Amino acid sequence: MSAAKTLLFVTSNANKLAEVKAILATTGITVESKSIELIEIQGTIEEISKDKARRAADNVGGPVLVEDTALCFNALKGLPGPYVKHFLKELKNDGLVKMLAAYDDKRAQAVCTFAYCEGPGQEPILFEGRTDGKIVRQRGEPTFGWDPIFEIGGSTYAEMDSYQKNKISHRFKALQKLKAWLEEKHGGGVAPPPAAPQRIDRRNLGGHEVAQGGNFFDSFGEEVKPRAINIAGDGMGIRKETGRGWQFDNPN
Ligand SMILES: O=P(O)(O)OP(=O)(O)OP(=O)(O)OC[C@H]1O[C@@H](n2cnc3c(O)ncnc32)[C@H](O)[C@@H]1O
Ligand SMILES: [Mg+2]
């Protein structure tokens, strides 16, 4: 079940907004937006994101979603991290690459942290996504921040089309977590009631054991663990009756 939910995403960054909308497009989550330049404190990624969410909730007077993006260089022990915006503004992508000139280790992590806050005075909840890559000389269209220097799987983010980037990105991974949480919160993740116990039906199937529903019992009334059911010729698994006939479910 998709999460029927509208989120107010507070960001000053049009590229972030476009990616969030694209990634959530088919989920049933509607994204509205408000462009506010929020003050960003110094601190850890988590502290900055939470503080941003509190400020946004105070500003709007209701539920908000914010996001903070960090670019962490391994050789620099995680810097520039959440301060990458200032480095990018002053040094540009070329300068960011040069920061690693003295190091062999070019590995970097793109980190996206969404913070959802239900309203003023409420504790924000964080959803983090990380993608490992390495810093390379610029390649691709410089349309979004440091995309041209962050390489993963042989391509920079800037060389990928938005579909490719949105399948693997730090932002995508964080939004997967947010989506799962929303689904749970709105009932989509609530487990259905357990199926009524069913007896294994040994009739008409050439000795195959057949089970239906969620709990399985042999003809003596003993519960059978699905993984332990052996179906002749089919290996370990469960045969289930479906509307279209018999279906073999391998629990592995
Ligand atoms: O209003 P907010 O949401 O804070 O938007 P912002 O542009 O200020 O964003 P951040 O404070 O999170 O700073 C992150 C910096 O990294 C850049 N950035 C964010 N996501 C990126 C991505 O997926 N690819 C490349 N650059 C990105 C962004 O343009 C900023 O320069
Ligand atoms: Mg910002």
- DSSP characters for 79-102? -EETTHHHHHHHHHHHHHHHTTTT
Q: What's the whole-number average pLDDT of the chain? A: 81
pLDDT at 127 over 70: yes
> Residue 182's closest CA among 65, 11, 10?
65
Which value does ipTM take for this structure?
0.99
- In this prediction, residue 5 carries a pLDDT of 87
Digit-coded pLDDT (tens) for 134-156: 999 999 999 999 999 999 999 99
- Of 39, 65, 85, the residue with max ligand 1 atoms within 8 A of its CB, to mutate for a pocket test, comes to 85
The residue nearest atom 29 of ligand 1, judged by CA position, is: 145
98 annotated ligand binder:
no
| Predicted model pTM | 0.77
- In this prediction, residue 135 carries a pLDDT of 99
> Residue 129's closest CA among 139, 115, 117?
115
Digit-coded pLDDT (tens) for 234-251: 333 333 433 333 333 433
